[in-house]
Structure 1
Amino acid sequence: MPTILGLEGSANKIGVGILRDGQVLSNPRRTYCPPPGQGFLPRETAVHHQGVILTVLREALDQAQLTPQDIDAIAYTKGPGMGAPLVSVAVVARTISQLWHKPIIGVNHCIGHIEMGRLITGAENPTVLYVSGGNTQIIAYAQQRYRIFGETIDIAVGNCLDRFARVLKLSNDPSPGYNIEQAAQQGSKFLPLPYVVKGMDVSFSGILSYIEEKAEKLMASGEYTPEDLCFSLQENVFAMLVETTERAMAHCGSQEVLIVGGVGCNLRLQEMMAIMCRERQAKVFATDMRFCIDNGAMIAQAGYEMFKCGMVTDWEHTTITQRYRTDEVLVKWRE
C-alpha cells in the first residue's frame, strides 16, 4: 500500500496531506487572508505560501508520525490555478522529490477534488458539480475521461460571491464566501436578478455587474439590507447550478450528484441540490470544510490513484499549467 504525500497551493490555501490506502494520515493547511475589501493577488499569495510551506510540511509528517523514508511518492498540483502560487509549491515538490529520491506526480486540481469526494462520500459514479473560486464545471465520467458537460463562460461562481463580499466589505476570514452564506441566512427579501443559463453553460459576470451597480442605492434607500442582497445572489446563482446539474443527470441517466470545491461547503447549495435529487429519487453527496476546501490530502488521493496504475510524471514535465482542463487527463484508474 503506497503512502503518498500531496502538496496543494493553487490559490490562497497551502496544504500538505499524507494518505495511505484511502486513509488520511494528516492534512494541515494555512490560508492567506488579505484585508476586507481586497482579493488575493498572485504575488502576495505566493510569498505567503513560501513563508509557511516548510512548516506545514513538517506538521504533516509529524501528525502522520512518518519520516521521508516512509513516503512512496510526491504528488503536487500541476494546475489549474494562479501561476505564482502554483510555481512556489511545484518548486518545493521537485526539491523534496530529488532530496528524498521519490517519484513525482503532477495532479490536476479538479481531479483531486473529484477523487477526494468519491473517497470520502462513497459516491460510485456521480454527476459532479465542481464549484470553487476559480472553477465552475458540471462533469460526468465516460470512457476514461472526466467529461465537462457544462461550465461557466466567464467567471467562476466562487469568484462572483467573493467579489460581491468585497463590495459589502465583508471579512476574508475564514473566507468571503462563508461570510456571504452567513449573511444570506439573515436575508429574506428577494431582489430579482438576471438568470443566465445558456444550454449547459452558465454566466455570472453580468449578474455580478447588475447587483454591484444597484447595491449601494438599494441599501442607502433602506429597500434592501446587505443580508437581503446576499440571499438574493445566492438563491439566483445556485438555482442556475442546480438546473444545469439536473440536465446533465438526465442526459447521463445518473442517480447521484457529488458537489466538490470550496463553494460545495455551502449548506444552502447542498439543500437546493437535495430538493432536486429527492424529486428525481436520486442522492446528493457532499463533504465538509476539511475536504471540500482546497487541501493536500485531495492531491495525495488523486496521486495515489495515478501511482497505482503507473502514472508517474517525467522530470521534464514537472512544470505547472494555469489552464489545465479536467478532460485532458486520462483516467486510467477507472473502468
Structure 2
Amino acid sequence: MVIAIGFEGSANKLGIGIIRDGEVLSNVRRTYITPPGEGFLPRDTAKHHQANILTVLDESLKESGISPQEIDCVCYTKGPGMGAPLVSVAVVARTVAQLWGKPIVAVNHCIGHIEMGRLITGASNPTVLYVSGGNTQVIAYSAKRYRIFGETIDIAIGNCLDRFARVLKISNDPSPGYNIEQMAKKGKKFIELPYTVKGMDVSFSGVSSYIESIAEEKIADGTCTPEDLCFSIQETLFAMLVEITERAMAHCRSEEVLIVGGVGCNKRLQEMMGQMCVERGAKLYATDNRFCIDNGVMIAQAGWEMFRAGIVTPMEDTWCTQRYRTDEVEVIWRDD
C-alpha cells in the first residue's frame, strides 16, 4: 500500500490531494478569481497560493484522516505552468518532504491530468485530448512515452476562451469558460468565425483576434447577442478539436477517447466528441470538475505511479520549469 500527497499550483488553482492505491482520500482546492475583464498575473497568483497553502494542506490532511507519518511520498508539479505560482507551491512541497522525512517526486502537470483521467474513467489506452488554459494537445501512448500527435501552434483553447470572456466582461467566477458555456446554451444564431486546422495542429489566435474585433459592433447593431457569440466560438473551437482528435484516432486505430484538462468539463465539447465516437464505434471517457480542473490529487496519482516504478527526485533537482512537454517524460510505469 502506497499513500501519496500531491501539490498543484501551476496556474490560478491551488490544490492538495491525497491518494492511496487508486482511492482518493482528499481533494482540496482554492481558486484565485479576478474581477470581470481581468486575467490573473503570476505575482498576484503566487501571493494567493502563499496565503492559502497551509490552510489547504491542513484541510487535505483532515479530510483524508491520514497523518504525515503514514504518507510514503510527496509529489509536486514541476511544470509546465506560470513560474511564480509553481515555485511558491514547490517550496512548500520541498519543506514538508524534509520536515516529514519523505522522498519527493517531481511531476509533469499534463501527465497528472492523463493519469487521473485513466484512473477515474477506467480507460485503458485512449487517444487523449488535453485542453486547458495553457495547453491544447492530442496525445497517444506509445513505447514508454505520451506522444503528441497534434497541438495548438499559438495559444491554448482555454486562453482563447478567457480572452473572449474579457472582451465581453464575463465573470471569472467560478471560471470564464463555465460562464461562456452557460451563455452559449441560450445562443440561437451562428456567426461564422475563422476555422484553422493545419494538418494535426490547430490555431486559435485568429479566432480570438477576429471575434474581439467584431464583438462590440455586432452586439451594438443588433446583428447578434453576446449569447450568440458564445455559442459560435464554442461550436467553432470544439469542431476543430474533434477533427484533429478523430484523425489521431484513425492513425492509432484507437477506439477510446479521453478528454482531460479544465476545458474538458464542458458538456458541449463532450457531446460533440461523443457524437464523433458513436459514428466511429468508439467510446468517450470524461470526468467532472472535481478531477478535470487542476487539482492536487492528480499530481498525487501520477507521482504514485512514478514512485511505485522506482522514480524519486533528488532534492537538488526539485526545481520548476514553465516549459515541460508531455513527451519529455519516460513513462516506465506503463506496460506496452
TM interval, short-chain normalised = over 0.9
Partner amino acid, structure 1, of 2:52: V
Q: CA separation in 2, counterparts of 1:68 and 1:21?
A: 17
Runs of 4+ in 1 over 6 A off after TM superposition: none
Alignment pair present for 1:212 and 2:196 = no
Match of 2:23 in 1: 23
Partner AA of 2:166 in structure 1: R
1:46-96 per-residue CA deviation (whole Å, 9 max, x = no partner) reads 000000000000000001111110111000000000000000000001000
For residue 28 of structure 1, give the secondary structure of its aligned residue in structure 2: strand
Q: Who is 2:240 aligned against?
A: 240
The match for 2:305 is 305
Tell me the amino acid that sits aligned with residue 268 of structure 1: R
Residue 160 (1) aligns with residue 135 (2): no
Query: 1:96 is matched with which residue?
Result: 96
CA offset digits 1:140-166 (Å, max 9, x no partner) = 000000000000000000000011001
| Match status 1:317 vs 2:306 | no
Describe the SS at the equivalent of 1:268: helix
Q: How big is the alpha-carbon RMSD for the aligned residues of Structure 1 and Structure 2?
A: 0.4
What are the Cα deviations for residues 282-306 of structure 1, in whole angstroms up to 9, with x where unaligned? 0000000000000000000000000
Alignment of 1:109-124 (within 5 A): 109-124=109-124
Counterpart of 2:259 in 1: which secondary structure?
Answer: strand
Show structure 1 runs of 5+ residues with no match.
none
1:185-230 residue CA offsets vs partner (Å, 9 max, x unmatched): 0001000111000000000001110010000000000110000000
Give the corresponding residue for 2:49.
Answer: 49
1 CA distance for matches of 2:201 and 2:316?
36
Residue in structure 1 matched with residue 228 of structure 2 by the alignment:
228
Match of 1:190 in 2: 190
- Which amino acid counterpart does residue 263 of structure 2 have in structure 1? V
- Work out whether 1:334 is the aligned partner of 2:334: yes
Give the match for residue 249 of structure 2. 249
SS at match of 1:27: strand
C-alpha displacement at 1:2, in angstroms?
Answer: 0.8
Work out whether 1:175 is the aligned partner of 2:157. no
How far apart, in 2, do the equivalents of 1:216 and 1:258 lie? 36
| Equivalent residue number for residue 151 of structure 1 | 151
Which string of whole-angstrom CA distances, capped at 9 and with x for unpartnered residues, describes residues 251-308 of structure 1? 0000000000000000000000000000000000000000000000000000000000
Q: How far apart are the structure 1 equivalents of 2:312 and 2:136? A: 28
Give me the whole-angstrom Cα distance separating, in 2, the residues matched to 1:144 and 1:66.
Answer: 33
Supply the distance in 1 between the matched residues of 2:144 and 2:314 (Cα, whole angstroms): 21
Matched to 1:248, the amino acid is A
* Residue identity matched to 1:102: K
Give the Cα–Cα distance (whole angstroms) in 1 for the partners of residues 245 and 171 of structure 2: 30
Could you tell me which residue of structure 1 aligns to residue 131 of structure 2? Answer: 131
In the alignment, the residues of structure 2 paired with residue 136 and residue 157 of structure 1 have an alpha-carbon distance, to the nearest angstrom, of 6
Letter in 2 for 1:281: G
Instruction: Name the CA distance, whole Å, in 1 between partners of 2:148 and 2:6.
Output: 25
**Which amino acid in the other structure matches residue 111 of structure 1?**
I
Which residue does 1:59 correspond to in 2?
Answer: 59
Matched pairs, number: 335
Q: Provide the C-alpha distance between the structure 2 equivalents of 1:106 and 1:8, rounded to a whole number of angstroms.
A: 11
- Match of 2:124, SS state, is coil
Deviations 1:14-72 (A, max 9, x none): 00000000000000100000111000100000000000000000000001111110111
Per the TM alignment, residue 314 of structure 1 is displaced from its structure 2 partner at its CA by 1.2
Post-superposition offset of 1:316: 1.3
Q: Distance in 1 between matches of 2:26 and 2:320?
A: 25
- Is the partner of 2:130 in helix, strand or coil? strand
Aligned to 2:77: 77
3-state DSSP class of the match of 1:148?
Answer: strand
AA aligned opposite 2:324:
Y
Q: What residue is the counterpart of 2:265 in the other structure?
A: 265
| Unaligned stretches of 5+ residues in structure 2 | none
Q: In the alignment, which residue of structure 2 is the partner of 1:86? A: 86
For 2:101 and 2:243, how far apart are their aligned partners in 1? 48
Provide the C-alpha distance between the structure 1 equivalents of 2:42 and 2:68, rounded to a whole number of angstroms. 30
TM superposition score normalised by structure 1: 1.00
SS at match of 2:30: strand
Secondary structure at the residue paired with 1:16? Answer: strand
Q: CA shift at 1:331, angstroms?
A: 0.2
Query: What TM-score comes out, normalization by structure 2 length?
Result: 0.99
